């Protein structure tokens, strides 16, 4: 049975895309039965997610190592070293912002791996319908179908 998705107190309860005015899903299956993904497909997506997790972990580690190296350098001395210090600080801040974004992305990937393990991978958390395979191929850590994701983004814009 489908459910309405609460996107904001202002908008009230908005039926998720693909649901009727009562929030009932066009499909009658439960969330556990919606996914038509076979074990081979799940393994493929799990492999993609594991590779992405490895890449992100390595990238974050490289940024952390470079940040430690940069922060440990001695920039005392002449006036030009103060200018270099400002540039270094800017680069360090930029690197840390990138690491923060990649850390958030790593959390999304880790959550998606949990959904693979629990059997809910590929099921929209908003309307409980199957997330299109093409979306998962491009964005394997997707939690929402495109319609529900658009609603979430609209609400986050306010």
Residue 30: in which H helix or E strand, if any?
Answer: none
What does the pLDDT average to over 143-152? 96
Give residue 142's pLDDT: 96
The answer to whether the CB of 53 falls within 8 A of the CB of 46 is no
Residues 6+ apart with CB under 8 A from 117: none
What gap in Å lies between CA 43 and CA 95, rounded to an integer? 33
pLDDT at 44 (0 to 100):
94
Who contacts 115 (Cβ-Cβ below 8 Å, separation ≥6)?
A: 121, 122, 123, 143
Quick one: how far is CA 152 from the chain centroid?
13
Report pTM: 0.63
Query: Which of 49-53, 96-100, 125-129, 148-152 is predicted with the least confidence, judged by mean pLDDT?
Result: 96-100
Instruction: Give the pLDDT confidence of 93-114 residue by residue, as tens digits.
Output: 888 888 888 999 999 999 999 9
**Rounded Cα distance, 37 and 8, in Å:** 32
Q: What is the pLDDT of residue 74?
A: 52
Cβ-contact 142, 32 below 8 angstroms: no
Span 5-33, pLDDT tens digits: 333 333 333 334 444 333 333 333 333 44
């Amino acid at each position: 049975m489908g459910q309405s998705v609460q996107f904001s107190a202002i908008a009230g309860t908005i039926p998720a895309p693909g649901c009727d005015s009562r929030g009932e899903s066009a499909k009658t299956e439960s969330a556990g039965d919606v996914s038509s993904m076979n074990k081979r497909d799940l393994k493929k997506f799990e492999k993609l997610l594991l590779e992405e997790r490895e890449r992100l972990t390595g990238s974050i580690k490289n940024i952390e190592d470079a940040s430690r190296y940069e922060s440990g350098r001695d920039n005392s001395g002449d006036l030009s070293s103060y200018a270099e210090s400002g540039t270094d600080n800017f680069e360090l801040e930029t690197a840390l912002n990138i690491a923060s974004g990649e850390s958030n992305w790593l959390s999304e990937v880790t959550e998606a791996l949990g959904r693979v393990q629990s059997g809910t991978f590929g099921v929209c958390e908003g309307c409980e319908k199957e997330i299109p395979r093409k979306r998962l191929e491009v964005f394997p850590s997707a939690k929402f179908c495109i319609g529900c994701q658009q609603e979430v983004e609209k609400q986050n814009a306010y």
